[in-house]
């Protein structure tokens, strides 16, 4: 194996530091990036000064990312391997983490990896070779209570990385997802960010979370050190064979991920009632108060101006429910949704990216109807374009609407639901929440994150009588594929490296969408979820494509899945390049 030039983020300690030293010891050149190289660099380079160069980098700083990559290319002429390792954990109830904490989590753990990949890809594509290793986690496949936002970020990494692999594999650039289990490190202590209400003793979940955090930290002390992660990353650098899509490391990661992926939702639920899954055990049966859901419910629906949201609003009203149909421009769009149901549907202005707007809408609905029984979190839109072509603003807007918008809404309604002892939160995900594809990588990242957040939330709020379900529509005919679809600027302006392919795929995508059913089936299912007396399922796929592809993706090994999907044209080819 020839000497490789390897850039590692988060290399001051832990996985990154261990990998830097082991990779350098095998004769490779390592750029070990960290936020404070003066403080942390000497320990990493000691004895390997001719092989390791420490460099200052904060992965949340786009200019800093460009500078480090540019300097490495100028000095070495290439970057053979990028190891996207920088990240940290966030612990606490999903209801109680702050906006600042959530953004920092995604800015570092998701967008940090995207920024580095975007920066190195042009040079790797030009040379026709390269490796991008994105460090995920066991939590990237198996969410659990109190680590829900961390799991959401790591699920986003998984969705983004799988889509990227389909986008760049034909160029000679390999993408691999490392999935470490639990290892002893300061991740569980000094680097772990904990929700402020928990630290300040004012959490609605105080005793439960305090005990869980103590157990989490005690268990972490029994785990191995980071050596096997460093070895795995060094092996990835030198492996002559093609990298697999995923590389789990550690007994818990290896066994739990396999159990989760090979089990149906019902089988996984049964496993979680036992004692063997420890951190991932279900905390108990649904608590709260008994409620008859078949009668009149107050249903709060976001994104109700058209499509799924409007169909659900009108169907819920037709079944005798009271509906708060929220939308960004209620004056323009509200009348059409209310038409014929004026006594049952009221429209309210709401922008899910604006916390003040959410607070005002929830207060107005409470004043009008007295309570909120069901939240249908539907607002969202699609972002279309290769991950390499997306802009910072496009990525942040996608996450702000499709993920944080839903989180802000559930955070706003949960106190009332917990107090009344009942409630339902129905989060609208997508086929892309389980099945990533080229050109929709950041959309898939947002929906993967939503699924993990929702699954963790279900455990956290069950004792209060609040149910959580994820609705997963496949492709339906709507303006999602036309006027509401955000096609990235690089594609719109004809400057994408993938321009011929993206134009072809976009035309095919819209042509197929024109043949699909309308939104009625999704509206019906959402109304069913509102009035279902039985406990809501965790996931509810809708449409022949979702019903077919979601189970197939979960049960099919990565190499088989990738081979079959590429044969169907899911990826790009060299003919698709500009």
CATH number at residue 245: 3.40.50.720
The reply to whether 17 falls in a domain is yes
Q: Does residue 496 sit in the same domain as residue 400? A: yes
Residues in CB range of 560: below 8 A, 6 or more apart: none
Whether residue 306 is found in the same domain as residue 231: no
Indicate whether 231 and 327 sit together in one domain.
Answer: no
Asked whether residue 332 carries a pLDDT value surpassing 70, the answer given is yes
Same domain membership, residue 536 and residue 411: yes
Q: Which of 88, 131, 136, 137 is catalytic?
A: 136
Instruction: For 335-452, list the strands marked E by DSSP.
Output: 345-349, 374-377, 383-384, 423-428
Q: Is residue 146 part of a domain?
A: yes
Active-site residue flag, 12: yes
Distance CA(182)–CA(214), nearest Å, equals: 15
**Each residue's pLDDT tens digit, 46-83:** 999 999 999 999 999 999 999 999 999 999 999 999 99
* In a domain? residue 276: no
Using alpha carbons, select from 378, 350, 462, 356 the residue that is nearest to residue 417. Answer: 462
For the segment 547-572, what is each residue's pLDDT rounded down to a tens digit? 999 999 999 999 999 999 999 999 99
Q: Do 10 and 95 belong to one domain?
A: yes
Q: What CA–CA distance (Å, rounded) separates 399 from 389?
A: 16
Establish whether 424 is a catalytic residue: no
Q: Is residue 501 in some structural domain?
A: yes
Which residues is 83 bridged to in the sheet? 8, 133
Lowest pLDDT segment from 217-221, 242-246, 292-296, 383-387? 217-221
Q: Is residue 571 part of a domain?
A: no
Instruction: Check whether 282 has a pLDDT greater than 70.
Output: no
Q: Are residues 42 and 165 in the same domain?
A: yes
One of 88, 91, 150, 443 is an active-site residue; which one? 150
501, 575 Cβ separation under 8 angstroms:
yes
Q: Helix (H, G, I), strand (E, B), or coil: what is residue 136?
A: coil
Which whole number is the average pLDDT over 393-413? 98
Q: Is the domain of 219 the same as that of 124?
A: yes
Q: Is the pLDDT of residue 281 over 70?
A: no
- Residue 131 falls in the annotated catalytic set: no
Looking at residue 566, the DSSP 8-state letter turns out to be H
Share of the chain above pLDDT 70, in %: 98
Q: What confidence tier does 1 reach under pLDDT thresholds 50, 70, 90?
A: low
Contacts of 26 (CB under 8 A, 6+ apart): 234, 237, 238
Would 265 be classed as within a structural domain?
no
Whether residue 324 sits in one domain with residue 183: no
Please measure the distance between the N-terminal and C-terminal CA atoms of the chain and give it in whole angstroms: 32
Choice among 88, 118, 131, 154 that is catalytic = 154
- pLDDT (average), residues 499-523: 92
Whether residues 311 and 200 fall in one domain: no
Residues 237 and 325 occupy one common structural domain: no
Q: What is the DSSP letter of 244?
A: P
CA distance 307 to 324: 16
**Are 276 and 300 contacting, i.e. CB atoms less than 8 angstroms apart?**
no
CB 208 within 8 A of CB 110: no
Residue 273 is predicted with a pLDDT of 76
Say which residues have a Cβ less than 8 Å from residue 548's Cβ, sequence separation at least 6: none
Enumerate residues 6+ apart whose C-beta is below 8 A from 268. Answer: 259, 260
Q: Per the domain annotation, does 290 fall within a domain?
A: no
Domain endpoint, select from 249, 279, 313:
249
Q: Is residue 268 part of a domain?
A: no
Task: Give yes or no: residues 331 and 222 share one domain.
Answer: no
| Residues 400, 403, 406, 410, Cα dihedral to 10° | -110
In which domain, by residue range, is 405 found?
Answer: 298-552
Number of structural domains (the chain) is 2
Region of poorest pLDDT, from 125-134, 235-244, 483-492: 483-492
Q: Tell me, yes or no, if 154 is annotated catalytic.
A: yes
């Amino acid at each position: 194996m020839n000497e490789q030039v390897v850039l590692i983020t988060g290399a001051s300690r832990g996985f990154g530091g261990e990998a830097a030293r082991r990779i350098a010891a095998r004769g490779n050149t390592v750029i070990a990036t960290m936020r404070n190289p003066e403080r942390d660099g000497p320990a990493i380079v000691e004895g390997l000064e001719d092989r390791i160069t420490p460099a200052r980098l904060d992965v949340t700083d786009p200019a800093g990312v460009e500078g480090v990559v540019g300097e490495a290319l100028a000095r070495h002429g290439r970057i053979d391997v990028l190891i996207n390792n920088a990240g940290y954990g966030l612990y606490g109830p999903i209801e109680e983490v702050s906006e600042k904490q959530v953004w920092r989590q995604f800015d570092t753990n998701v967008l940090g990896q995207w920024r580095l990949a975007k920066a190195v890809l042009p040079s790797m594509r030009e040379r026709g070779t390269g490796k991008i290793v994105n460090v995920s986690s066991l939590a990237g496949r198996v969410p659990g209570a109190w680590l829900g936002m961390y799991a959401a970020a790591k699920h986003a990494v998984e969705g983004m990385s799988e889509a990227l692999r389909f986008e760049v594999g034909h160029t000679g650039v390999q993408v691999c997802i490392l999935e470490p289990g639990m290892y002893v490190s300061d991740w569980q202590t000094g680097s772990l960010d904990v929700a402020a209400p928990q630290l300040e003793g004012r959490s609605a979940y105080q005793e439960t979370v305090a005990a869980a955090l103590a157990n989490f930290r005690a268990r972490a002390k029994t785990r191995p050190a980071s050596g096997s992660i460093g070895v795995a990353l060094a092996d990835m650098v030198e492996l002559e064979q093609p990298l697999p899509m995923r590389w789990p490391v550690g007994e818990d990661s290896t066994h739990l991920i396999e159990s989760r992926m090979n089990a149906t939702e019902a089988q996984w639920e049964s496993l979680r009632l036992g004692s063997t899954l420890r951190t991932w055990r279900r905390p108990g049966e649904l608590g709260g108060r008994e409620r008859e859901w078949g009668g009149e419910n107050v249903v709060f629906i976001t994104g109700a101006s058209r499509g799924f949201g409007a169909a659900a609003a009108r169907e819920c009203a037709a079944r005798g429910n009271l509906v708060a149909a929220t939308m960004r421009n209620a004056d323009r769009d509200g009348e059409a949704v209310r038409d014929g149901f004026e006594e049952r549907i009221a429209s309210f202005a709401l922008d899910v990216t604006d916390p003040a707007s959410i607070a005002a809408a929830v207060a107005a609905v409470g004043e009008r109807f007295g309570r909120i029984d069901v939240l249908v979190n539907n607002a969202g839109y699609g972002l279309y374009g290769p991950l390499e072509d997306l802009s910072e603003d496009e990525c942040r807007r996608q996450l702000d609407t499709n993920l944080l918008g839903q989180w802000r809404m559930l955070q706003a309604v949960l106190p009332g639901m917990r107090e009344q002892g009942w409630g339902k939160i129905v989060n609208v995900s997508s086929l892309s929440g389980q099945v990533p594809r080229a050109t929709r990588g950041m959309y898939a990242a947002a929906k993967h994150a939503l699924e993990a957040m929702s699954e963790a939330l279900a455990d956290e709020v069950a004792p209060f009588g609040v149910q959580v379900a994820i609705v997963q529509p496949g492709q339906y005919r709507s303006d999602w594929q036309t006027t509401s679809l955000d096609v990235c600027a690089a594609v719109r302006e004809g400057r994408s490296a993938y321009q011929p392919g993206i134009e072809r795929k976009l035309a095919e995508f819209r042509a197929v969408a024109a043949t699909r059913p309308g939104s009625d089936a999704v509206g019906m299912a959402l109304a069913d979820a509102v009035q279902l007396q039985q406990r809501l399922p965790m996931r509810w796929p809708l449409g022949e494509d979702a019903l077919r592809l979601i189970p197939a993706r979960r049960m099919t090994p990565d190499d088989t899945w990738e081979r079959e999907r590429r044969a169907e044209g899911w990826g790009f080819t060299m003919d698709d390049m500009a």
